[in-house]
């Protein structure tokens, strides 16, 4: 688990396997040897994207429960919160990007691989509802391995329930901008991730439905190196843009400016 943020000053690059000193990752968390983008925590992502001190968290009272007593789940939850420092795989709030207000939901792959569960689902639905009421663009930064199996159908129904909230957002003509980061797979990929009015993928991200390991189990063919990469998706017409991490904030700034929605960031819900 060497890529967890709290694990010390030396970390192993997931892509090239070299040991990288904390200071070498730099502001954008990029491997100095192979240029691989290290996965960001939700907090790191926020810091890179929004105006300083502009993030106002929305209520997030939910907490994950092992309600089905699934073997090992409680331990996984405890480990995840200790290692990630987060209470779940998403944070939601309002923020400003270059002074333009928006509602922001940022997933966190450091918490149980960002899997979609009852908590993530409830928070995303709240983010949609707030964006709709305040008439503010909703930016969702995805980072998820898919639905969280340990919560069974309770997790799976995050897909249709979030899509129902997204449908209301669309009916109200409030823009949804999705930022697909590494990884965006399974139940997140097959629900709201590709429902953005604008879809941007971060350079180097892996995005798809079935994981490469699952695909190779069913058909042992050699998959191309760029399989399910942001760049391949862009060539195939699946995303509007592939943007390198340092340019993401400016890209979102342009998108928000182009929608030119003032909204009401301070409205009472």
> Do residues 258 and 246 touch, judged by C-beta distance below 8 A?
no
Q: What are phi and psi of 11, to 5 degrees?
A: -135, 155
Q: How many CA atoms lie within 13 A of 137 on its CB side?
A: 25
Site string for another protein, 139-178 (x = CB under 8 A): --------x-xxxxxxxxx-xxx-xx-xx-----------
With binding defined as CB under 5 A, does residue 2 bind Zn ion?
no
- Of 51, 31, 168, nearest to 101 by C-alpha is 51
Q: Which does 33 bind (CB under 5 to 8 A by kind): Zn ion, another protein, none?
A: Zn ion
d(CA 114, CA 188): 10
- 16 among annotated binding-site residues: yes
Nearer to Zn ion, 17 or 72 (CB): 17
42 membership: H or E segment, kind and range: helix 42-49
With binding defined as CB under 8 A, does residue 58 bind another protein?
no
Q: Which class for 69: exposed (0-12), middle (13-18), buried (19 or more C-beta within 10 A)? A: exposed
- What tokens does 17 get? 């396997």
With binding defined as CB under 5 A, does residue 16 bind Zn ion?
yes
Known binding residues for Zn(2+): 13, 16, 31, 34
Instruction: Return residues touching Zn ion (CB under 5 A).
Output: 13, 15-16, 31, 33-34, 36
Known binding residues: 13, 16, 31, 34
Instruction: Return residues touching another protein (CB under 8 A).
Output: 61-63, 65, 67-68, 70-72, 118-119, 121-122, 147, 149-157, 159-161, 163-164, 166-167, 186-187, 189-195, 208-210, 214-215, 217-219, 221, 223, 227-228, 236, 238
């Amino acid at each position: 688990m060497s890529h967890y943020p709290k694990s010390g000053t030396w970390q192993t690059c997931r892509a090239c396997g070299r040991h990288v000193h904390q200071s070498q990752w730099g502001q954008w968390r990029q491997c100095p040897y192979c240029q691989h983008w290290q996965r960001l925590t939700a907090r790191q992502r926020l810091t890179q994207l929004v105006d300083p001190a502009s993030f106002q968290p929305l209520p997030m009272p939910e907490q994950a429960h092992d309600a089905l007593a699934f073997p090992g789940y409680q331990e996984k939850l405890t480990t995840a919160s200790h290692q990630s420092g987060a209470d779940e795989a998403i944070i939601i709030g309002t923020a400003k990007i270059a002074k333009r207000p928006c509602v922001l939901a940022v997933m966190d792959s450091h918490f149980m691989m960002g899997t979609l569960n009852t908590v993530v689902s409830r928070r995303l639905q709240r983010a949609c509802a707030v964006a709709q009421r305040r008439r503010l663009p909703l930016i969702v930064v995805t980072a998820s391995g898919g639905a969280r199996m340990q919560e069974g159908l309770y997790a799976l129904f995050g897909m249709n329930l979030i899509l129902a909230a997204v449908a209301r957002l669309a009916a109200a003509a409030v823009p949804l901008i999705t930022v697909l980061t590494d990884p965006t797979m399974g139940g997140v990929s097959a629900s709201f991730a590709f429902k953005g009015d604008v879809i941007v993928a971060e350079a180097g991200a892996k995005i798809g439905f079935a994981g490469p390991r699952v695909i190779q189990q069913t058909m042992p063919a050699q998959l191309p190196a760029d399989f399910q990469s942001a760049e391949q998706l862009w060539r195939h017409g699946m995303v509007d843009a592939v943007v390198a991490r340092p340019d993401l904030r400016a890209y979102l700034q342009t998108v928000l400016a182009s929608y030119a929605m003032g909204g009401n960031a301070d409205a009472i819900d």
